Amino acid sequence: MDGVIDPPSSAHRLTVENLRNKARQETGFAARKDGRTVGCIFVLERTNDFYVGKLAVEPNFQGQGIGRQLMQAVEDLARSRCKPAIELQTRVELTGNHAAFARLGFRETERTAHKGYDRPTSITMRKIIS
């Protein structure tokens, strides 16, 4: 996403320690192929929903349904915990992501700006679990 999104991705600030902390507070799922991790997702359980904070699939494995399988794991978790919805944010510039999440049943609910920006930088999308 370097050079595509502004402000830069928070992924640049991830360290082993803050990933450990994230794993203590959130639920994580990993996608593995041929013995290696090729994708992951972290979700935070909130009062009325689950929030997808991080979703990543290795570039060489994108387009193979791995992201969809990770999102399905979150949806299954939400159902098992009687949560009626899943929410996420995606950057305004990442139009391919908007379309992919829309195909999964997510709908835009609002646009917000990162601190210091006077234009929308993120799109919030929500999926109601039936």
Torsion of CA 87, 23, 96, 32, to 10 degrees: -130
If one compares 96 and 84, the residue with the highest pLDDT of the two is 84
pLDDT of 60-87, one tens digit each? Answer: 999 999 999 999 999 999 999 999 999 9
Q: What is the pLDDT of residue 7?
A: 65
pLDDT of 31-40, one tens digit each? Answer: 999 999 999 9
User: Measuring CA to CA, how many Å separate 32 from each of 58, 67, 118?
Assistant: 11, 12, 40
Query: How confident is the model over 84-94, as a mean pLDDT?
Result: 94
Examine the pLDDT at 125 and tell me if it is beyond 80.
yes
